[in-house]
Copies of this chain bind each other. A is one copy, B any other.
C-alpha cells in the first residue's frame, strides 16, 4: 500500500477523533507508542514488535493528517533515492 493511501485510511478511521484531540495530544500518543516499541525491542517477541511498528506509523499518519501534511510527499521530498546529506546512494556520509 502506498504511504499516502495508508495515511488516507488512517484519516477515514480516525480523523474526527484525531482532529478533536489536537496536535499536541496526538503527538503525546505518538511518543507513547514509540516508547512501547522501544520496550518490545528489548524482548524477543517479534509479533509484538510488529504491532508496535504498526502503531507508530499509524500515529505518525494521524499526526500528519491533523497537520495537513502529506507524509509520502514529505518522505520523498527529502529521501528521493539518495541521502539528503551526502546526495549519494547508498549514503557515503563520513560522520
Chain A residues within CB distance 8 Å of chain B: 1-3, 6, 9-10, 12-17, 23-24, 27, 30-31, 34, 37-38, 41, 46, 49-51, 53-58, 60, 63-64, 67, 69, 71-79, 81-83, 89-91
Contacts and interface: CB of A to CB of B under 8 A. Distances in A.
Give the oligomeric copy count: 2
A9 B31 CA distance: 25
Nearest to A31: B34
B53 A64 contact: yes
B90 A16 contact: yes
A79 B34 contact: no
B9 A79 contact: yes
Contacts of A12: 89-90
